[in-house]
């Protein structure tokens, strides 16, 4: 059995880490470089950094912040936010990212998925999908940091991006994001069971039991969280020790 991954997420705006509920009412959570160093030391399996306002504000991800975060890490770093072209991906990888995440640009210009995958390899590309429930077992894709609900069906979209060369899916439940009420396991399982590539569950982590649930019931390959780590509600070590007691394989 492959070990499940625990991934802290740094949602960045104006060079600072922020966290809100369903992408609004943001509060400051610290310096990205300092948090990255701490998570690297504490045993995170990977780290994700998202410039959450880049697409909405029509600008590229802040390279200085990416470079500063990468300097503190010995674990894989995924960076996203405002990636629209092959050149944007090139700059992020050159600044120290191991993988790039695309979201809004992939929806608006799906060929970017093919281009990045063909140029840098499937392993360097994560397609981020913000999904909002619109009915029983139905979800639609949101773009621009969750502010724009499209007509795109989430299940159809993940199948398309896998075929185009995505190496991994970062799946965020817009309904659960920031609530700390638990991951949307139905959404995660629906997407994970439809694909042959790994799915990272995101949105709703509030405690160790939620992680066990999304791995065992939601079939996630990895789980991402922010608030419970940033504000020290739980530590990575205690979370992994708990998961081991629940029969979930993790790296200590």
> What CATH number should be reported for the domain holding residue 36?
3.20.20.70
- The residue that leads in pLDDT, 195 or 22, is 195
In a domain, 147, yes or no: yes
Contact 17, 35 (CB under 8 A): yes
Do the domain assignments include residue 84?
A: yes
Q: What is the pLDDT of residue 61?
A: 59
Q: How many domains does the chain have?
A: 1
201: in domain:
yes
251 belongs to a structural domain:
no
Q: Does any domain span residue 224? A: yes
Query: Does 147 have pLDDT greater than 80?
Result: yes
Give the CA angle between residues 47, 79, 19 to the nearest 5°: 70
pLDDT of residue 238: 94
Which tens digits make up the pLDDT trace of 23-67? 555 667 688 888 899 999 999 999 999 887 655 554 555 788 888
* Contact indicator for 18, 12 with CB cutoff of 8 Å: yes
Quote the pLDDT of residue 1. Answer: 66
Contacts of 169 by beta carbon, 8 Å cutoff, 6+ apart = 126, 127, 128, 129, 158, 161, 162, 191, 195, 197, 198, 199, 200
Among 175, 178, 249, 180, residue whose Cα is nearest residue 208: 180
Cα separation, 1 vs 3, whole angstroms: 6
Q: What are 139's strand-pairing partners?
A: 133
Which residue range(s) make up the domain with 179?
5-245
In this prediction, residue 11 carries a pLDDT of 85
Determine, yes or no, domain membership for 252.
no
Confidence of residue 118 (pLDDT cuts 50, 70, 90): very high
211 belongs to a structural domain: yes
CB 123 within 8 A of CB 148: no
The confidence score (pLDDT) of residue 210 equals 98
In a domain, 250, yes or no: no
Catalytic residues: 11, 130
Backbone angles phi, psi at 183, to 5 degrees: -65, 155
Q: Is the pLDDT of residue 3 over 80?
A: yes
What CA–CA distance (Å, rounded) separates 143 from 132? 11
Does position 75 have pLDDT exceeding 70, yes or no? yes
pTM attached to this predicted model: 0.91
């Amino acid at each position: 059995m492959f070990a499940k991954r625990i991934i802290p997420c740094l949602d960045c705006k104006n060079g600072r880490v922020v966290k809100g509920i369903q992408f609004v009412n943001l509060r400051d959570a610290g310096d990205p470089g300092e948090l990255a160093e701490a998570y690297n030391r504490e045993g995170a399996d990977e780290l994700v950094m998202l410039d959450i306002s880049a697409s909405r504000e029509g600008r590229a991800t802040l390279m200085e912040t990416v470079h500063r975060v990468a300097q503190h890490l010995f674990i894989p770093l995924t960076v996203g936010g405002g990636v629209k072209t092959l050149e944007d991906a090139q700059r992020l990888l050159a600044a120290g990212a191991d993988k790039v995440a695309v979201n809004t640009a992939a929806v608006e210009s799906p060929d970017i998925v093919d281009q990045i995958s063909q140029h840098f390899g499937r392993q360097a590309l994560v397609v981020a999908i913000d999904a909002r429930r619109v009915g029983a077992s139905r979800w639609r894709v949101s773009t621009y940091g969750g502010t724009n609900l499209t007509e795109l069906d989430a299940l159809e979209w993940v199948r398309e991006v896998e075929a185009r060369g995505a190496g991994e899916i970062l799946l965020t439940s817009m309904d659960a994001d920031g609530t700390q009420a638990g991951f949307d396991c139905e959404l995660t399982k629906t997407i994970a069971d439809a694909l042959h590539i790994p799915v990272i569950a995101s949105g709703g982590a509030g405690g160790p039991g939620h992680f066990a649930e999304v791995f065992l019931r939601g079939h996630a390959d990895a789980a991402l969280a922010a608030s419970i780590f940033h504000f020290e509600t739980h530590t990575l070590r205690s979370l992994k020790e708990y998961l081991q007691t629940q029969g979930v394989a993790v790296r200590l």
